[in-house]
Structure 1
Amino acid sequence: MGQLMGFMNIEKKNQSERKPVERVRDWNEYKIPLTEKEVKKQAARCMDCGTPYCQIGTVINRGTTGCPLHNLIPEWNDLVYHGLWKEAYERLAKTNNFPEFTSRACPAPCEGSCTAGLVSDSVSIKSIERAIIDRAFEEGWITPKPPKRRTGKKVAVIGSGPAGLACADQLNKIGHEVTVFERSDRPGGLLMYGIPSMKIEKDVVDRRVQLLKDEGIHFETNADVGKTISVASLKEAYSAVILCTGAGKHREVSLEGRALKGISPAMDYLTASNRNQLYGEPLADDFDAKGKNVIVIGGGDTGEDCVATAIRQGCKSVVQFGKHGKLPAKRAENNPWPEHPNVFSVDYAYKDAEEVFGNDPREYYVETKKFVGDDNGHVKELLTGSFKKEANGAAAHKTWNADLVLIAIGFQGAEDQVFDAFDVKRDSSGRVIEADTIRYQTSKDGIFAAGDARRGASLIVWAIEEGRRAAAAVDLYLDKKLSVLN
């Protein structure tokens, strides 16, 4: 372990942040990595537990506890503390294909289950991981490593998000010929178009995709399977197909006035913004917050990203509706360690809003009732009630000015097209129900599913783990050894 009693004697420090007054003027990443001295000091806080809950990777009370990738966290913490950075990277790379993504966009359930968190603050695992992978790229330790031999077997991966990329990476390392089909014009899935560059700058995604290309993975973009590419042609050309399309079907609200202009799904809005930043594509009126009163319906991370994006576009005001109440400052009794702590925090978008507008934009227990439009068919107001009933049983009603409304209430699983084309069954939540966590194969021979499409919308670490496990199952299938999994 690092320093004896380090977790008690050394104060936790995460990556610092650029000042909101500066960062709201651009689209660059808002985090500032720790210095080498700071990282080694934080690594000294790791206890090297006999049972490292940080890496258990399971679900407790519907929440992720520990790292689903089972990262060897105590090992690389100790190596960093002793200055053995390359060895730390090698340990990290054993379980995580893309630490540069997880160290930026993962909510760090590993820290929530850190044993040190029982008596002190948890270890700053995410910040240490970021330091390791950044240094690995800076030192040139990460170079293309194509497989030394090819098996002659061809595999198609549909979707280039974290699950698809991880699956393709693992299968390529084994020696299979892998082609990734992406319906958009650029690989990366939500990493590229769904997550704002304030969290992941797009050259970080491009760098990894280029590495995968240099290692022999083929990418077909603008490839809309089921439309521009037939299922029959894929089945004929490839020995196996893995569906890693994500869970992109957004949840809708069925309310009066939904058809008004100025109301859009959050992911469509974020995608348009990212494309505007990457290519200079003009923003449609429904995706431009400049000078507008913006309301975001949904209290999660996607909604938060919408808040941050609207501020950078120059909105007049922004409010985020959540159906639940404000989280407690400390763990509640029904949220014990090692569960992920459901506690109140002020994340980057809310700090941005406080800087620009002087207040936290979040409103709690808000139930949207109706959209009201102007004479031109454009939204102008929202009528709301409250999920928290007043003492007399009546809900608190309120009218809000709104020129742009973004719906960020979650996802309903995979979109229909690809799965209908493959005749794969899904449940009422849109998840593939035929593929389990051992075989990952659907009822159709040679057709597999992994990631959010199989699991439902989840964390980036789960997507990568799903891709890795599906790749192992596909490899056994290709070797005609799938029976060993029964």
Structure 2
Amino acid sequence: MQQKGPTGPTGFVVQPRRLPKAEASVRVQDFGEIIIKPTPENLETQAGRCTDCGVPFCQTACPLQNNIPDWLGLSAENELREAWKIASATSTMPEICGRICPQDRLCEGSCTLNQSGWEAVTIGSVEAFIGDTAFDNGWVEPIRPLHERPESVGIVGAGPAGMAAADRLREQGYQVTVYDRHDRPGGLLIYGIPGFKLEKRVVQRRIDRLIDGGVTFVTNCDVGKDITLADLRGKHDAVLLAMGVYQARALQVPGAGPGDTLPALDFLIHQNRRDLGEADDDTGHHARGRNVVVIGGGDTAMDCVRTAIRQGAESVTCLYRRDRENMPGSAREVLNAEEEGIHFEWLGAPKALMSRDGSVSAVRAARMALSEPEFGKRREIVPVPGADFDLKADLVIEALGFEPEAFAAHHDELSLTEWNTVATARSGFATSLPGVYAAGDAVRGASLVVWAVRDGQDAAAEIDRYLKARTEEQAA
């Protein structure tokens, strides 16, 4: 199968998949994005590899249900403005999701070419290019509602779910105020994700668009401490809880006392603040010259190991209790980390922290083995007797995942699930409190940014229906 492109014959058989990255030895010297921006010609070639298959598995695998084949086809024909219109119709952050989505587990992993051995279209790279081109050429239109509505909506959390909801609600003319505990909006996009995956300028222009469109951000405001949910319900006609999950799971092994380990998010936040130009003399959160062990196997662990190597660590090891095939993180990120010199200890579980002169000096780990596979069950891990080993470490970073914080402790009427996430109606985003909705990780638990964007957009649509129905009832 072959297609005719604007610069000559293209097609998945003729043109191989190409996603240029900076050389590992070069990219570890700074925190710039590692993917090299394609030329328009290369972009058209890669987009033209799409077979426009009858059943677009890439679209069904995308949480946002992005119309991927259409904007790939338009990109192949150099119709980038039309491609942008289609991409932005289903996503409030195409240029962000194109950078940080684990495409290998979503759209690209389901690409027909990938299934048939020809390697997937570089969907994420094309999506990011479309978004960047739209901003560069002024195609990203400012939010200017056709009609202003008197109702106001308060959003708790200025991360991806909150920003997506704010965008959609403001477009409908609602007066939107977003409350966040940090000193600037962006949440995980600003403070959690390293610059080599997502440069902060990319997020800031989205924030600027919201501000220019009339969205108000109230920063340094911790809902539950500085202001209560009851206060927000009194000020606004509807409230959306989109505060994410930030409570780190703690390492439970002998020798792990206060200050002996560093939570992953603390480590990442300090580096992201440096990237934002803030002076930071806190050497305790820096890996320079140290032997670093990161415990965990998710995308946050990959962010930590890749940050540590850029900070100038003497050595960086990722310790994970399962094998490579069973780790939760993106395979693409593991490959990037290996290219950059990170060592992986698969099938190793932390057993104790060893100390010398009052400081951590090593991690003692148990060698693990996977149980025999059983149909429908995840393989168990069991320790191998007599196979313990030590990893030299003077900085241990915990990347064991996140749990919801005790947000509802201040709000007795707000129902929670057994996992302490906010309970919502089965068919939507309404909570146990009238006029209060919840979306993103606050409901799902720790998940992907793209799911937070999807939930924020869908929750905004539900809030819109609720407020319009209430207005009609009051008018009747």
TM-score by length of 1: 0.88
Q: Distance in 1 between matches of 2:29 and 2:332?
A: 26
* Corresponding position: 1:240 with 2:238: yes
What is residue 411 of structure 2 aligned with on the other side? 421
Match of 2:339 among 343, 348, 351: 351
User: Which segment is superposed worse, 126-135 or 425-434?
Assistant: 425-434
Instruction: Name the aligned partner's letter for residue 213 of structure 2.
Output: E
What is residue 7 of structure 1 aligned with on the other side? 12
Contact 2:351–2:366, Cα closer than 8 Å, also in 1? yes
* Corresponding position: 1:70 with 2:65: yes
Q: Within 5 A, what are the aligned runs for 1:223-234?
A: 223-234=221-232
What is residue 336 of structure 1 aligned with on the other side? none
* Corresponding position: 1:324 with 2:325: no
What is the CA distance between 1:426 and its match in structure 2? 2.5
Q: Distance in 2 between matches of 1:106 and 1:23?
A: 20
* Corresponding position: 1:370 with 2:370: no
What is the CA distance between 1:283 and its match in structure 2? 4.5
* Corresponding position: 1:394 with 2:375: no
Instruction: Name the aligned partner's letter for residue 340 of structure 2.
Output: D
Q: Which runs of 5+ in 2 are unaligned?
A: 5-9, 372-381
Match of 1:475 among 453, 458, 464: 464
What is residue 420 of structure 2 aligned with on the other side? 430
What is the CA distance between 1:270 and its match in structure 2? 0.4
What is the CA distance between 1:346 and its match in structure 2? 4.6
Contact 2:299–2:330, Cα closer than 8 Å, also in 1? no
Instruction: Name the aligned partner's letter for residue 453 of structure 1.
Output: A
SS in structure 1 of the partner of residue 324 of structure 2: coil
Contact 2:95–2:129, Cα closer than 8 Å, also in 1? no
Q: Distance in 1 between matches of 2:269 and 2:241?
A: 22
What is the CA distance between 1:341 and its match in structure 2? 12
What is the CA distance between 1:343 and its match in structure 2? 5.9
Cα separation, partners in 2 of 1:361 and 1:471, compared to 1, 3 Å:
same
Q: Within 5 A, what are the aligned runs for 1:183-198?
A: 183-198=181-196
What is residue 107 of structure 1 aligned with on the other side? 102
* Corresponding position: 1:47 with 2:45: no
Q: Within 5 A, what are the aligned runs for 1:270-349?
A: 270-327=268-325, 346-349=334-337
Cα separation, partners in 2 of 1:158 and 1:422, compared to 1, 3 Å:
farther
What is residue 259 of structure 1 aligned with on the other side? 257
Q: Deviations over 1:325-355 (max 9, x none)?
A: 1239xxxxxxxxxxx99868753332222xx
Q: Distance in 1 between matches of 2:69 and 2:409?
A: 41
What is the CA distance between 1:373 and its match in structure 2? 2.2
Q: Distance in 2 between matches of 1:455 and 1:146?
A: 32
Instruction: Name the aligned partner's letter for residue 3 of structure 2.
Output: Q
SS in structure 1 of the partner of residue 62 of structure 2: coil
Q: Deviations over 1:26-67 (max 9, x none)?
A: 1211111111111111111112122111111xxxxxxxxx10
What is the CA distance between 1:143 and its match in structure 2? 3.2
Q: Which runs of 5+ in 1 are unaligned?
A: 57-65, 329-339, 354-359
Instruction: Name the aligned partner's letter for residue 354 of structure 2.
Output: V
User: Which segment is superposed worse, 342-351 or 114-123?
Assistant: 342-351
User: Which segment is superposed worse, 418-427 or 38-47?
Assistant: 418-427
What is residue 456 of structure 1 aligned with on the other side? 445
User: Which segment is superposed worse, 258-267 or 457-466?
Assistant: 258-267
Q: Within 5 A, what are the aligned runs for 1:194-205?
A: 194-205=192-203
Contact 2:366–2:383, Cα closer than 8 Å, also in 1? no
Q: Distance in 1 between matches of 2:224 and 2:178?
A: 15
Contact 1:435–1:449, Cα closer than 8 Å, also in 2? no
Tell me the number of residue pairs that the alignment of Structure 1 and Structure 2 aligns: 453
Q: Distance in 2 between matches of 1:136 and 1:342?
A: 28
What is residue 172 of structure 1 aligned with on the other side? 170
Contact 1:146–1:214, Cα closer than 8 Å, also in 2? no
Q: Distance in 2 between matches of 1:226 and 1:269?
A: 25
* Corresponding position: 1:379 with 2:360: yes
Q: Distance in 1 between matches of 2:294 and 2:178?
A: 34
* Corresponding position: 1:410 with 2:419: no
Contact 1:424–1:442, Cα closer than 8 Å, also in 2? yes
What is residue 78 of structure 2 aligned with on the other side? 83
What is residue 429 of structure 2 aligned with on the other side? 440
What is residue 127 of structure 1 aligned with on the other side? 125
Q: Distance in 2 between matches of 1:350 and 1:73?
A: 30
Identity of counterpart residues, as a percentage?
A: 39
Cα separation, partners in 2 of 1:395 and 1:166, compared to 1, 3 Å:
farther
What is the CA distance between 1:147 and its match in structure 2? 0.8
SS in structure 1 of the partner of residue 138 of structure 2: coil
What is the CA distance between 1:193 and its match in structure 2? 0.4
TM-score by length of 2: 0.90
Q: Distance in 2 between matches of 1:428 and 1:380?
A: 38
